[in-house]
């Protein structure tokens, strides 16, 4: 059992130009993916620690916040002169997991388009789960939480403040979730383009053609397969025409007004009538 220590209440030092939460009251986190992340923390019902963490986040006590593969780093100003260093570790996915996830993502046009539009599609959770690696932490124990403050309880209010600011950062840029797990935005999009056949792919030659044929610009359009050997073959026969109404061949012509003299007037109508009869007989 960890040692319990009590520290008297203290007021944090004011911070100029700190990172303030956009939410001034109520819940923090607007999107389902940021709320899913915070649910892990809030499910432990740590009461006043989370309340003070939200207060820190809204007052701007978080000085900096940076997301790198496998770790979130922050500095938080507390009551002491020197700000505290906060780190939240979450293992980055190995390359084999990312390879499976990227191939699966490239084969699904709608989730890919949503991701490019700045939204985390719900299907992304299942996609990573099928690859054997849940996207979001399932319990707080999966997170390696560290703070240089003297409070031994985890999470302390400085960690909690970082969690809340991180959730709002996820709202603004959903690619941060993927970056934390080991893929930055440019690398991910470049990989998806390769799988769709828009660039060279040497590492996954067997998997790329199947994935590439199912997207065009991540917009849900089908890209036709290039098969030059079929150019000289007869095209497949057209489907049988549906039943048509048996009408006079020049019915349409008779429904139109007679053109003016400059276009030929009745003479043009007569010539077109003859043409209609001939064309109709050839069908």
The tens digit of pLDDT for each residue in 120-154 reads: 888 888 888 888 888 888 877 889 999 999 988 88
Q: Are residues 78 and 215 in the same domain?
A: no
Strongest mean pLDDT among 170-174, 236-240, 255-259:
170-174
Q: Are residues 120 and 23 in the same domain?
A: no
Residue 283, pLDDT score: 55
- CB of 136 within 8 A of CB of 36? yes
Q: Are residues 20 and 150 in the same domain?
A: yes
pTM greater than 0.75 (yes/no): no
Q: Are residues 204 and 112 in the same domain?
A: yes
Q: Are residues 81 and 27 in the same domain?
A: yes
3-state secondary structure at position 205: coil
Q: Are residues 61 and 146 in the same domain?
A: yes
d(CA 160, CA 50): 6
3-state secondary structure at position 147: strand
Please report whether residue 279 resides in a domain: no
Q: Are residues 103 and 164 in the same domain?
A: no
Please report whether residue 67 resides in a domain: yes
Q: Are residues 24 and 146 in the same domain?
A: yes
Q: Cβ neighbours of residue 129 under 8 Å, at least 6 residues apart?
A: 135
Please report whether residue 247 resides in a domain: no
Q: Are residues 17 and 126 in the same domain?
A: no
Q: Indicate the average pLDDT of the chain.
A: 76
Q: Are residues 166 and 125 in the same domain?
A: no
Q: Are residues 104 and 28 in the same domain?
A: no
For 86, the domain range is 12-93+139-172
- In order of 21, 145, 160, the CA distances from 41 in angstroms are 17, 12, 8
Domains of the chain: total: 2
């Amino acid at each position: 059992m960890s040692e319990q220590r009590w520290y008297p209440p203290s007021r944090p030092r004011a911070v100029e130009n700190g990172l303030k939460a956009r939410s001034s009251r109520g819940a923090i986190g607007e999107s389902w993916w940021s709320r899913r992340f915070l649910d892990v923390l809030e499910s432990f019902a740590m009461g006043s620690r989370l309340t003070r963490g939200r207060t820190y986040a809204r007052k701007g006590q978080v000085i900096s916040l940076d997301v790198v593969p496998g770790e979130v780093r922050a500095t938080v100003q507390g009551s002491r002169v020197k700000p505290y260093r906060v780190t939240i570790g979450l293992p980055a996915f190995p390359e084999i997991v990312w390879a499976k996830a990227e191939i699966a993502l490239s084969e699904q046009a709608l989730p890919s388009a949503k991701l490019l539009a700045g939204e985390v599609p719900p299907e992304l959770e299942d996609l990573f789960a099928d690859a054997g690696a849940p996207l979001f932490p399932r319990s707080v124990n999966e997170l390696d939480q560290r703070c240089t403050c003297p409070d031994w309880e985890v999470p302390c209010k400085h960690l909690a403040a970082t969690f809340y600011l991180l959730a709002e950062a996820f709202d603004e840029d959903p690619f941060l979730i993927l970056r934390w797990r080991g893929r930055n935005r440019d690398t991910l999009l470049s990989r998806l383009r390769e799988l769709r056949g828009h660039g060279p792919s040497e590492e996954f030659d067997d998997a790329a053609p199947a994935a590439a044929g199912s997207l065009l610009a991540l917009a849900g359009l089908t890209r036709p397969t290039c098969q030059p050997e079929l150019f000289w073959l007869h095209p497949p026969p057209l489907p049988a025409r549906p039943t048509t109404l048996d009408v006079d061949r020049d019915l349409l012509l008779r429904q139109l007004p007679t053109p003016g003299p400059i276009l030929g007037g009745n003479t043009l109508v007569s010539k077109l009538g003859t043409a209609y009869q001939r064309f109709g007989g050839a069908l």
